[in-house]
Amino acid sequence: MRPAQVAVAVLAFLVGLTLTASVAEAQVGKMYWADYNAGKIVSADLDGTNPTDVLTSLSNPYGVAVDLGGSKVYWTELVNGDVKRANLDGSGVQTLANPGGTSYPAGVALDLTSATQKVYWAEYGGGSIKRANLDGTSPETLHTATNPRFVALDVDGGQMYYTDSGASQILKASMDGSGSPTTLVTGLSDPRQLQLDLAGEKIYWAEIGSNSIKRANLDGTNVQTFYLSGLSQPTGVALDLATRKICWTDPGTDKVQSTSMDAVITDVVTSGLSLPTSLAVDAAGGKMYWADYNGTAVRRANLDGSVVQDVATDPPSPYGVALDSGAGKVYWTNLANDTIQRRNLDGSGSTEDQLDLNGGATDYYPAGIALDLTSATHKMYWADNNTGQIERANLDGSGRETLKTGVNAPRFVALDVAGGKLYYTQSGTGEIHRMNLDGSGDETLVTSITGPREIELDLDEGKMFWTDLDTNKVQCANLDGSDIVDLVTGLTDPAGLGLDPDKRIAYWTDTGTGKIQSIGMDAVLLDLVTSGLDLPTGMDLVIIPEPAALSLLGLGSMLLLGRRRRRR
């Protein structure tokens, strides 16, 4: 990460939105946006609460950016062609530039790190990108374009990125105006606000013509569309890098909304899989492991899907997998011979039978498996789909205990060892239950599902995730079963599930397509502000170099000129 980006991470959106937060408390701060029809700049807490008018009686404010250190807010007024600033308390309004006429200054961004600090803005009607000193002196035209909308700055790299809605492109150019722009992405449908995740090497933008939020690599490759529905005219975007949230304004619905920055479905492994049933993630080791049931193998790959390797090829029907990364072991259930087996994570050595469940008989169906690696006596827990039992034993197979009987087709188990709880899916009745680790205190948490398979817990956030093979979904809920949300729908046959809680990524296997795919664990559409807005638009992000503070500002502007809902 570049020095100037160390403190970056917050979000700005809505006709120019900004937010600021401390590094110690990344969720504490403010966002600012311009409300075009209401003639206001408004601030609110990062969750959308406590909206406060910062400036009122403005003339169609559009883009906004905040200089927290200087206690200033900068904005554009689209129709009268002004670029202005004021103190954050609303006093001391100054006009910095007045290109006037049909220049339509839209997005605005701040360079607060250089020796000569600058304000940059895009003139949609004038077809140019300009800059001046923060007090408005020494204005200069840097680049020309068809209809530039938004600007985002890579100050350390000396580059600006901007959307050109007239040319349907995203381009990159020097911040000092030298050289010619480079076209990065073409064929877009009226792109508006854009923001940069320089550490993640990504560009994020709103696209009003396709009612979508998208991202790409900084060089313009690998364009991905966010997994969202119900957007109307997304315009401004802002990034909260600390919590990996993206926010946007939607003047079509008069809302500010958010989701995960990773709310895109990514194909991770797309070939060589044959009925992958269970998945386990070793986030620290950068690996994922899965059982390939028809392929009669336990396999692994890097978390990006590269370097697929066989760990074991001798199990005839592997089903559930679990990891003991500390001991360098992967465990799996084997349906063909009713055993629990293990091997070294790298595939070296030989496969070891840890437990023969029924002396080679065939009336067992050991499915999901989970490991308790924190207690004094390490344990493995498993569900048996045929016998309707949940059992446990020591990792060496000794001390086998039946914890629960009479379960209708239990499939997978997950452990909250600190909380003393075991969660399990019951595919026979379409339920999720939890009980104490000793099998007592069973309670039904979820009943409104039909074909639950693998379940995983995100204990830090108090969530559980599961796949549903019958409804073709990945879902999540609170640990008590409340607030069920569809994370992904429209899949073919999702089965296995693994989480990387640090990077906030969920991975799943699809037995119907033979793929492993992923999406952000927080890829749920959230309404942050739903009332009191009247045509919110662009946004931008400002990077504060001090390691003690983060500031995200809304710059941006996406041009919705003239009458309400009318695109220009």
Q: What's the domain count of the chain?
A: 2
Considering the domain architecture, whether residues 255 and 311 belong to the same structural domain is answered as no
Shared-domain flag, residues 230 and 369: no
> What span, in angstroms and rounded, lies between the C-alpha atoms of 433 and 426?
7
Q: Are residues 248 and 161 in the same domain?
A: yes
Residue 561 placed within a domain = no
The answer as to whether 362 is a domain residue is yes
Dihedral (CA of 429, 435, 438, 439) sign? negative
In this structure, the answer to whether residues 163 and 140 fall within a common structural domain is yes
CA 138 to chain centre: 40
Residues 290-342 pLDDT 10s? 999 998 999 999 999 999 999 999 988 999 999 999 999 999 999 988 999 99
- pLDDT (0 to 100) of residue 28: 58
Residues 127 and 249 in one domain: yes
- Given a contact cutoff of 8 angstroms between Cβ atoms, the answer to whether 534 and 299 are in contact is no
Can you tell me the distance from the alpha carbon of 181 to that of 558, in angstroms, rounded to the nearest whole number?
Answer: 21
Express each pLDDT in 171-217 by its tens digit.
Answer: 999 999 999 999 999 999 999 989 999 999 999 999 999 999 999 99
Q: Which domain holds residue 398?
A: 266-520
**Is 493 inside a domain boundary?**
yes
What pLDDT, in 10s, does the model give residues 124-144? 999 999 999 999 999 999 999
- Is position 357 within any domain? yes
Q: Are residues 253 and 270 in the same domain?
A: no
Residues in contact with 299: Cβ distance below 8 Å, sequence separation at least 6, in sequence order: 272, 273, 289, 290, 292, 308, 309, 310, 311
Same domain, 119 and 178: yes
pLDDT at 218: 98
Residues 337 and 195 in one domain: no
CA distances 100 to 97, 139, 252, 526, Å, are 9, 14, 27, 38
3-state percent helix, strand, coil for the chain, nearest multiple of 5: 0, 50, 50
Amino acid 101: pLDDT: 78
What was the pLDDT predicted at 225? 96
Residues of the chain with pLDDT under 70: 1-28, 359-362, 375, 539-568
Domain identity same for 323 and 185? no
Distance separating alpha carbons of residues 253 and 478, to the nearest angstrom: 28
Same domain, 428 and 385: yes
Six token digits for residue 387: 């016998």
Judge if 536 and 432 occupy the same domain: no
Structure tokens at 189: 């449908």
Structure tokens at 248: 């946007």
Instruction: Look up residue 476 and give its two tokens.
Output: 């999540």
Residues 166 and 77 both lie in one domain: yes
> What residues contact residue 242 under an 8 Å CB cut-off, 6+ apart?
9, 10, 21, 23, 26, 27, 550
Sign of CA dihedral 46, 48, 52, 53: positive
Is 567 inside any structural domain? no
pLDDT of the residue at 310: 96
Domain boundary among 503, 520, 537: 520
Phi, psi values for residue 229, rounded to 5°? -140, 160
Establish if 280 belongs to a structural domain.
yes
- Domain CATH number, residue 154: 2.120.10.30
Q: Cα separation of 102 and 108, whole Å?
A: 17
